[in-house]
Amino acid sequence: MRKHYLDNIRWTTVLTVVIYHVLYMYNAEGIAGGLGKITDLEVQYYDLFLNIVYPWLMPVLFIVSGISSRLYLENHSDRDFIKSRTQKLLVPSTVGLLVFQFIQGYINMSLSSALDQMKDVPYPVKHLIMSLSGSGVLWYAQMLWLFCVMLTMIRKLEKDRVWKLCAKAGLPVLILLTPVVWLSAQIGNTPVVVVYRFGLYSTMFLLGYFLFSHDEVTEKLKRNFPFLAAAAAALCAAFCVYSFGKNYADEPIYRSWLFTAYSWFGCLAILGGYARYFDFETGLTGWMNRHSFGMYVFHYLGISAVALFIARPRLLGPLPVYMLSLIAGLAAGCILYEVISRIPFLRWAVLGIKKKG
């Protein structure tokens, strides 16, 4: 049976990513990459939302991807697994950059005024640079594909021995994994482009595959949800006090004990809460789940376009800009998905869809 709570985690997390990127675009906390502050407020207290969601936002998606990988491999070969993941993840995050995401690169470089310094650069070279700059949110797809390839190698060695052992894990084991998560955050972090955190994200992916794919472990998360939610809330409060007004997305904060502990317990609480209360499907949740990948791929284009063409020249005040950015992000995700998924070559190159339907 399909685990609907995983679908619901996926699409609600993607929706949270959209809201996150709206606030991130105009943040006053010094987080680079967006347009920056557009209000006259001395302190933008609503930016606290960024601190609340950032530590668990991507880790929980990698956990869900790990669980989904296990479920897929129960009925498919490793070869089919790599073939499907290559089409769905690698093609959009490589070929898709050249045929579509260079548009995002153009907007990104315009926001940072980088294009002004490239007037004499030949267009083919400029197109390649814009394509690389346009990778944006697709770093997740690139890393996930690498983890999937890594997983097939691990499976040949462990032959389900580790996977079966993980079914016995209880709450004490989950708590004792906190130092493991912290240690993973100390390794495999790329400089400059800090989103590529190979240590932390590969650990979350593998824990999803080996640990959280067991129904026995899920049941324990459901039973202990009140404790996990309370622990996550306490860690959230402590992390917000510690990190608000600072660059929470860079060193040393994202490698701190408090960041990783909140990230871990936040993920545990989300898995337990959704498995306990949101393991169902409705017409709306089904539609959102089917469109969640397109929403993820395209939403930032709408948000950044509003930032470049409306917010930067101050055509509207801050509140209309925030509202329009959110609407543009949601609309870009839905409309571009519906259009591009119907165009044969583009739906393969940009969305990894071989055939419509």
Please answer whether residues 240 and 299 qualify as being in contact, where contact means their C-beta atoms are separated by less than 8 angstroms.
Answer: no
Tokens of 282: 């409705």
Cα(287)–Cα(144) distance, rounded to whole angstroms?
24
pLDDT of residue 118: 80
What's the confidence (pLDDT) of residue 356?
52
What is the DSSP track for 252-273?
TGGGSHHHHHHHHHHHHHHHHH
- As averages over each run of 10 residues, the pLDDT of the chain (357 residues) reads 93 97 93 89 94 97 98 95 96 95 92 79 88 90 97 94 95 97 95 89 98 97 97 98 91 94 98 97 94 95 96 95 97 95 94 77
Torsion of CA 270, 271, 276, 282, to 10 degrees: 90
DSSP state of 30: -
Would you state the pLDDT for residue 175?
97
What 3-state DSSP class applies to 191? coil
Hey, what long-range contacts does 110-114 have (CB within 8 A, 24 or more apart)? 110/308, 111/34, 111/35, 111/304, 111/307, 111/308, 111/312
pTM > 0.85: yes or no: yes
Domain ranges of the chain: 4-351
Spatial distance between the Cα atoms of 29 and 183, rounded to a whole number of angstroms: 27
Structure tokens at 94: 């490589």
